[in-house]
Amino acid sequence: MPHANVKQAVPFFGVTNMESSLGFYVVGLGFEMMRWWIPDRPQDKPDGRIRWCRLERGGVALMLQEFLPERRPKETLGTGVSLSFTCEDALALYREFKSRGIEPRKRPFVGNRLWVVPLTDPDGYHLEFASPTDAPEESELEE
């Protein structure tokens, strides 16, 4: 087998409102902004706002870039996109997210022998935080 030169896949989401997305990912989900770009060249339409960033939490990362209004796609963002995060304890994350004001799109459930916490970001990208369990398939978290 050849040397494994590829080290990590980082999802790159186009977003319509960076401020809203950062509220969701940083404030709500606890990601940390590790790198960012604020345009400073006239052709990049500088306005002092973050237009691109790399976020990390634990061993995972994702990147966000805000569309310029004239380049925003007409199609609904996030359609058909689902990102699954493997976790030690998805239910602990569920409780953490709720304490930060983030509500899942439905109650955590068991699917494929995993607790799954389903979320949708402000642009419609689907996220799932999942951890192994022995609970019966199709169980839902009782609160």
Looking at residue 20, which CATH number applies to its domain? Answer: 3.10.180.10
Whole-number pLDDT of residue 3: 75
How many C-beta atoms surround the C-beta of residue 51 within 10 A? Answer: 19
b/e map 90-108, b = 16+ CB within 10 Å: beebbeebeeeebebeeeb
Mean pLDDT by 10 residues, the chain (143 residues): 80 96 97 93 72 96 93 87 95 96 92 96 95 92 84
Q: Is residue 30 part of a domain?
A: yes
Q: Is residue 102 part of a domain?
A: yes
Burial class of residue 12 (count of CB atoms within 10 Å of its CB; 0-12, 13-18, 19+): exposed
Q: Is residue 142 part of a domain?
A: no
Q: Is residue 6 part of a domain?
A: no
Dist. CA 143–CA 135, nearest whole Å: 15
- pTM given for the model: 0.90
Whole-number pLDDT of residue 142: 87
Q: Is residue 55 part of a domain?
A: yes
Residue 62: give the domain boundaries: 12-40+47-70+77-132
Say how many domains are in the chain: 1
